[in-house]
Structure 1
Amino acid sequence: MASVAVVGAGWAGCAAAVEASRLGHQVTLFERARTLGGRARAVELNGVLLDNGQHILLGAYAASLRLMQTVGIKPADAFLRLPLQMRYPPASGGMDFIAPRLPAPLHLLAALLRAKGLAAADKLALARFSSTARWMDWQLHQDCTVTQLLERFDQTARLTRLMWRPLCIAALNTVPERASAQVFLNVLRDSLGARRAASDMLIPKVDLTTLFPQHAAAYVERAGGSVVTGCAVQAIAPGSDAAHSGWTLQINGDAAAALQHFDAVIVATDPERASELLTAIPGAPALPPFEHEPITTCYLQYDAHIRLAQPFLALLDDAASGSWGQFVFDRGQLAADQAGLLAVVVSTSAVAIAAGQDALIAAVTRQLAEALRQPELLAPRWSKIISEKRATFSCTPALARPAADTGLDNLFLAGDYVASDYPATLESAIRSGVKAARLIAA
């Protein structure tokens, strides 16, 4: 049994701590904040426990679902499970696409035939994309942008605007003009190209800290490990003598010794902090720099009778007209105590937030009132904007991402930025944490 330090209790760190505990190691999980979850965590707004960003998971997120079950979460209780869909408000100029619960790929064929708001040319283009991607086994000889991929596959302008662009932005948090086509195809391969349930959309019914990190911490403690919050790891150094041949951590936090010794360390912080820690370690690899993309969520509280026709709807975003929202969620259909609360998601939101929060709230409420044809949406009872300015890395073509193994004995990396088929998602974070923990066992 090894003593293992996990630095950072975001989703990657929590996954690493759970998997290392499951494998029989003695784990200490360090988190400098008071709340677990990192960039996907709970926050309190006007007495309501919400998230720093609205998330959707996919049925294809096998590692996430498996680890949640490991720590005692029942996915049926934690998520509202919906079939694959891209549904816009009626008469808003969008489309209505929803996959019935049929075996794959019949569910996509039926959804395509029944789709409203798409012309015959749009439907043929979508069918052509799906069949060609399958024939290619979802692989490109050379990565390119999503925009270039769509042009190569002769996708129509309307289908691109209503389906491919919002899917790309939602999955990669990078606009199609800059996004990696290969990573986009990887996501489509594991969702649209897999069994029907893999394409299901899973909307959390509880806040993100409760959804996994809180249960993960309890699992680690039940296994004999410990979770230390409000505690920053300031430095990592090789053990100085035979008695401490692994790694020494310099700690600055509540009720923690200045120096602690471990056989193995998993650095599960953001890449910038990980780079700072590695720079001081002789022989450690230099991490590549990453560009980052923000995600903004606008919470709007209305009277309890305000309700969407579905749990969430897509919105037509248009920067030229100040229509920034891409999706709106009805929180009242997820939690009984949140009736009348809408959450509008603005991905790749750097331009949207530049004019300030008041301007963005005014723009989003105007967009909702026009799209849903409900003038009362112009005046919420209260509103709050949360911007995670470094929510994800920019998922650009052929992006260099570091390996989990640093090349140093029992020192590993975990995080959604670590080399993976996936973009910066909860699933990639969890996969990286599990992989790092298994490298210790190896």
Structure 2
Amino acid sequence: EFSLRAPRLPAPLHLLAALLGAHGLSLSERLKAARFMLALRRMGFRLPNDMTVAALLAQHGQDADLTFKLWEPLCIAALNTPIHKASAQVLLNVLRDSLNRTRADSDMLLPRVNFTALFPQRAAGFVEQHGGRVLTSCGVEAILPQGDDIELATASGSMRFSHVICAAPPTVAAGLLRPLAALADTVAQIDGLEHQPIYTVYLQYQPMVRLPHPMLGLHRRYSQWLFDKGQIAGQHGLLAAVISAEGIHQELAQKELAQKVIAELREEFGIAQTPAWFKVIAEKRATFCCAPDLRRPSQQTALPGLLLAGDYTAGDYPATLEGAVRSGLRCASLISA
């Protein structure tokens, strides 16, 4: 069993102490991991040339067991991309901002409400409180440049604006931008993005069923991360298994995958009962594949009044909430400049 806990020391001492005290790694592996992080710090977490995470780990002598237990799960959790395909520089950006600055930056935050309540509902409330309008069930069918303005065509009519931020998923954004000849390069960049899946298996057990911790990672299992929704959000007995990036789980039917997760919960935690129900959500294009030297579209398009927001746009981060928020802030700063 591998575990790592950072003490309450100033960064980066908390990380050094965590690596040196990690359970499940030999002393040699712990020293290799610590030396690797110190080397990254000396480099300023910048590479002269991007490469795959696997290549970077090999350069710094991170052996197979250390990679499998520590770096590979970290890479998949952060980039949702396997180490043989993932950008080392983007991973270093994440390590720089989460492990190298202040101790609190590496804290794990688990929301007690769903993401709809956490982000979009609050954002909509903010807009309305400041005199704006939020239109739902009003999908944009076309983006039409009109001189210096941008017109949006919807089923219920057209609206004209000085600036438009297209914050749709990349495939939807590409469909809206494709008719605009000036944005051919942007569309080509979006079309060139490969994608990685995320599978989530929900299992409803009796309310007394719970995991030893609200969140757990499993080693050499289909289930990569387990979440106890009872401990997190009061949904007692509801467990969620998250499987990130491509893998052999994609070859299984949804019922087969659920049965694999049920068996793992029984073997790992002694949960002998059968869940009342299960549901598998397979997001086959959940995130872009975060490859080295990836060309991602800029927030500012070739049309001055049209901008793009989303985690797939240009930035330091992979496909994450943080990356999406940063892109939105960048759009706002471009409009207000």
What TM-score bracket applies, with the shorter chain setting the length? over 0.9
Match of 1:300 among 188, 196, 203: 203
Match of 1:141 among 30, 40, 48: 48
Structure (1/2) with the larger strand percentage = 1
* 2:294 is the counterpart of 1:399: yes
The one-letter amino acid of 2:285's match is: R
Task: Name the structure 2 match of 1:14.
Answer: none
* 2: CA distance, partners of 1:158 / 1:346: 20
Match of 1:381 among 276, 292, 317: 276
Secondary structure in 1 aligned to 2:164?
A: strand
Task: Name the structure 2 match of 1:125.
Answer: 32
* 2: CA distance, partners of 1:365 / 1:101: 36
Which residues of structure 1 form unaligned runs of 5+?
Answer: 1-93, 318-322
Deviation at 1:381, TM superposition (A): 2.0
* 2:168 is the counterpart of 1:269: yes
Deviation at 1:212, TM superposition (A): 1.0
* 1: CA distance, partners of 2:318 / 2:19: 27
Q: 1:375 to 1:284 in 2, by over 3 A?
A: closer
* 2:303 is the counterpart of 1:408: yes
Secondary structure in 2 aligned to 1:227?
A: coil
Match of 1:246 among 134, 137, 149: 149
Structure 1 residue ranges, 4+ long, deviating more than 6 angstroms after superposition: none
Secondary structure in 2 aligned to 1:428?
A: helix
TM-score by length of structure 2 reads: 0.95
Deviation at 1:156, TM superposition (A): 2.1
* 2: CA distance, partners of 1:370 / 1:114: 27
User: Is the 8 Å Cα contact of residues 2 and 69 (structure 2) preserved in structure 1?
Assistant: yes
* 2:125 is the counterpart of 1:230: no
The one-letter amino acid of 1:333's match is: Q
Deviation at 1:375, TM superposition (A): 4.7
Task: Name the structure 1 match of 2:250.
Answer: 353
Task: Name the structure 1 match of 2:267.
Answer: 370
Secondary structure in 2 aligned to 1:250?
A: strand
Secondary structure in 2 aligned to 1:283?
A: helix
Secondary structure in 1 aligned to 2:183?
A: coil
* 2:59 is the counterpart of 1:152: yes
* 1: CA distance, partners of 2:247 / 2:37: 32
User: Is the 8 Å Cα contact of residues 20 and 31 (structure 2) preserved in structure 1?
Assistant: no
* 2:332 is the counterpart of 1:437: yes
Q: 1:397 to 1:189 in 2, by over 3 A?
A: same
Match of 2:79 among 172, 182, 205: 172
Deviation at 1:110, TM superposition (A): 2.5
Secondary structure in 2 aligned to 1:134?
A: helix
The one-letter amino acid of 2:31's match is: L
Task: Name the structure 1 match of 2:236.
Answer: 339
* 1: CA distance, partners of 2:233 / 2:171: 36
Structure (1/2) with the larger helix percentage = 2
* 1: CA distance, partners of 2:33 / 2:21: 13
Secondary structure in 2 aligned to 1:97?
A: coil
* 2: CA distance, partners of 1:410 / 1:300: 46
* 1: CA distance, partners of 2:66 / 2:265: 22
* 1: CA distance, partners of 2:333 / 2:257: 44
Deviation at 1:112, TM superposition (A): 2.6
Task: Name the structure 2 match of 1:209.
Answer: 116
Alpha-carbon RMSD: 1.4
* 1: CA distance, partners of 2:127 / 2:228: 34
Secondary structure in 1 aligned to 2:312?
A: coil
User: Is the 8 Å Cα contact of residues 121 and 156 (structure 1) preserved in structure 2?
Assistant: no
Which residues of structure 2 form unaligned runs of 5+?
Answer: none
Task: Name the structure 1 match of 2:94.
Answer: 187
Deviation at 1:167, TM superposition (A): 0.6
* 1: CA distance, partners of 2:20 / 2:75: 23
Match of 1:324 among 222, 232, 242: 222
The one-letter amino acid of 1:157's match is: A
For each residue in 1:120-145, what CA deviation from the matched residue of structure 2 results, as whole angstroms up to 9, or x when unmatched? 11101111111000011111111111
Secondary structure in 1 aligned to 2:290?
A: coil
User: Is the 8 Å Cα contact of residues 235 and 277 (structure 1) preserved in structure 2?
Assistant: yes
* 2: CA distance, partners of 1:207 / 1:398: 34
Count the aligned residue pairs: 333
User: Is the 8 Å Cα contact of residues 327 and 344 (structure 1) preserved in structure 2?
Assistant: yes
The one-letter amino acid of 2:168's match is: T
TM-score by length of structure 1 reads: 0.73
Deviation at 1:174, TM superposition (A): 0.5
Deviation at 1:371, TM superposition (A): 2.4
* 2: CA distance, partners of 1:103 / 1:342: 34
Deviation at 1:345, TM superposition (A): 0.6
